[in-house]
Amino acid sequence: MTNVAKKNDAGVCQKNFMDDKKNGVEKKIKILCVFGTRPEATKMAPLVLALKACRHTETEVCVTAQHREQLDAVLDAFGIAPQYDLNLMTAGQSLSDIHMRALKGLEEVIARSKPDLLLAHGDTATTFAASLAAFYAGIKCGHVEAGLRTFEKFSPYPEEINRKLTTVLSDLHFAPTFHAKENLLKENVPPQSVFVTGNTAIDAVKYAVRANHVFKCEALNKICEGSRLITMTAHRRENLGRPMENICDAVLSVTENFKDVTVVYPVHLNPKVRETVFAKLADKARIILTEPVDIFDLINLMARSYLVLTDSGGIQEEAAALGKPVVVMREVTERPEGLAAGTLLLAGTQTQTIFNAVAGLLTNKKQYEDMANAKNPFGDGYASERILEAVLQVFGINTE
């Protein structure tokens, strides 16, 4: 990774950049940040704040609202007010619906904003649509969290293809790790366009975690002391149906066999997820099902947990930054760095293998401590500053 930029007490980039003036007026880089889901917003929020704090950039935000309620909670938490809101979310929307409406909406936004650079994050329908819209408009696109790969076309679905297509369309690639950079280089991405920055998810964790946090979700303030808490999330499209049933059966078995364990599961709004989860886990002892919680509640819940169960992507990074062992309920992960470092345990989606993985961490102290103390491979909390520095360099704003 590059050197960490100097910061003042507020954490704002404090480097002395050479002014690029035209007709006596400093020329700023116009940047449009586009995102649409809660995970994207969580990871882009620290970057948006860093860009807005820099005197060399003029930054606007466009949200597609691919996730409406969960997205708004993140925007409120970080104090970000979008200049453009496409408000795309509709009941029962398909991937094709999202892509078509996002592409058309972003075409109009780009025409109004006239950015020099569009920044998109990760691997969602919004990400791909934003990179394609930037290509059609002839403007540069920067891909934040570039280079993640499972090399499995349908796992995760549709994320693996979204991020690969975004790579083809992007001009700047902000890879969170050297492994991600190697993935890009193997796909013939020009080396000079790839920057290893760390993951902005770690920036968000650093921003959000508080020792004295009071949960907005009242149920979380009432969790009994003395329990070993497990934070759980599960919602992936490829896990719908039988895999989700297996996951629920495994969790129920954990609480039945370990009486000191309490599982907290903020249930995704997808009706197919909720149908299975509530049928299997509602009103079960020491399993707390809540509505989706805001990102500050989720991060601080993980910080108070013994371990984390998830099929999410970003949580694999966030929990590792908090020193919490993560059991990944997927067949593959695009974050092999966590497996190599020992922060992640890949359990698959079979009931017995998930149960065995969790039981091992609950009973084997050495295994638990090895994972809890493993070095987090996903960054140090300064990814946003590194991305900002790279953008300034690309646009010819030199530092002393």
Omega within 30 of 0 (cis) for the link into 377: no
What is the predicted pLDDT for the residue at 25?
A: 60
Task: Kindly state the tokens that stand for 74.
Answer: 């993140």
As a whole number of Å, the end-to-end CA separation of the chain is 19
Full-model pTM: 0.87
- Are the beta carbons of 64 and 129 closer than 8 angstroms? yes
Q: How far is CA 180 from the centre of its chain?
A: 15
Q: What residue type is assigned to position 28 of the chain?
A: K
DSSP 133-184: HHHHHT-EEEEETTT---S-TTSSTTHHHHHHHHHHH-SEEEESSHHHHHHH
Burial of 324 (0-12, 13-18, 19+ CB in 10 A): buried
pLDDT tens for each residue of 193-244: 999 999 999 999 999 999 899 999 888 888 867 789 999 999 999 999 999 9
Task: Kindly state the tokens that stand for 358.
Answer: 């969790």
Nearest alpha-carbon partner for 173 in 153, 204, 197: 197
**What is the rounded CA–CA span in Å between residue 356 and residue 318?**
23
- Order of strands, sheet of 344-346, starting from the edge strand that comes earlier in the sequence: 287-290, 261-266, 228-233, 307-310, 326-328, 344-346
| Parallel, antiparallel or unpaired: strands 25-26 and 21-22 | antiparallel
What is the predicted pLDDT for the residue at 27?
A: 84
Helix boundaries (H) for the chain: 38-53, 69-78, 95-113, 125-137, 159-169, 178-186, 200-208, 218-221, 242-257, 271-281, 295-303, 314-321, 336-341, 351-363, 365-372, 383-394
**What is the rounded CA–CA span in Å between residue 78 and residue 66?**
18
**Active centre residues (catalytic):** 123, 145, 159, 235, 237, 268
pLDDT tens for each residue of 35-57: 999 999 999 999 999 999 999 99
Q: How far is CA 51 from the centre of its chain?
A: 18
What is the predicted pLDDT for the residue at 223?
A: 82
What is the predicted pLDDT for the residue at 204?
A: 96
What is the predicted pLDDT for the residue at 32?
A: 98
**What is the rounded CA–CA span in Å between residue 305 and residue 387?**
31
Q: Which residues of the chain have pLDDT under 70?
A: 1-25, 224, 399-400
Q: How far is CA 114 from the centre of its chain?
A: 27
What is the predicted pLDDT for the residue at 13?
A: 35
